Amino acid sequence: MKKIGLLGGTFNPPHIAHLIMANEVASKLGLDEVRFMPNAVPPHKVKQGDATAKERLEMTKRAIADNPLFTLEPFEIERGGVSYTVETMALLTEREPNVMFYFIIGGDSIDGLSTWYHIDELMKLVHFVGVQRPGFFAKTEYDVELVEAPLIDLSSTIIRERLQTGEPVRYLLPEAVEQYIREEGLYGTR
């Protein structure tokens, strides 16, 4: 059975902490592949000035381009609408019945798992893998396998703020992603 990690998120924009997290989980659990899956319309994270779904997909594609273990999973964006993980995973497990999916989440998501839509049903569809994140407890009543990784206190919000104020973002996100952001004038970089 193939072991595939899924790292979902807004990727608004994708940054090095996403890449490190995916790489550490893949290495420690012996995954065959890690798919980065941007949300179409995240149920709780839409803000004015955000990159479009198409732009987030392109940034994610550029962020993972140099790692053959990483692939882009456009499933949620192609499907459109609000993204609920349980619905996505029901469709993906039906599409790929010979795959064991490892759903990778950060400490912030671990702390909030009890609020996820139909979490009990989702727990039957995937194996959750959690990575600690600074400032979060990474504690839950649900079964989550914890993987140690370098702790980097970085978020897409911090990067967007730095871009808007003209602060440097070098080394915080892949060069190809920064180049795309500046070419497209995203996050107030015009």
Where in the chain are the domains?
2-152
| 42: confidence class by pLDDT, cuts 50, 70, 90 | low
The predicted model scores a pTM of 0.92
Say what the pLDDT of residue 112 is. Answer: 87
The Cα 130–Cα 106 span in angstroms is: 6
What is the architecture, at CATH level 2, of domain 2-152? Answer: 3-Layer(aba) Sandwich (3.40)
Residues 9-29 have pLDDT tens digits of 999 999 999 999 999 999 999
Q: Is the pLDDT of residue 111 over 70?
A: yes
- Contact between 131 and 147 under an 8 Å Cβ cutoff? The reply is yes
How far CA 70 is from CA of 27, 62, 79, 98, 111, in Å, comes to 12, 11, 21, 19, 26
Q: Is the pLDDT of residue 47 over 70?
A: no
What is the CA angle 142-148-150, rounded to 5? 130
Q: What mean pLDDT comes out for the span 176-182?
A: 97
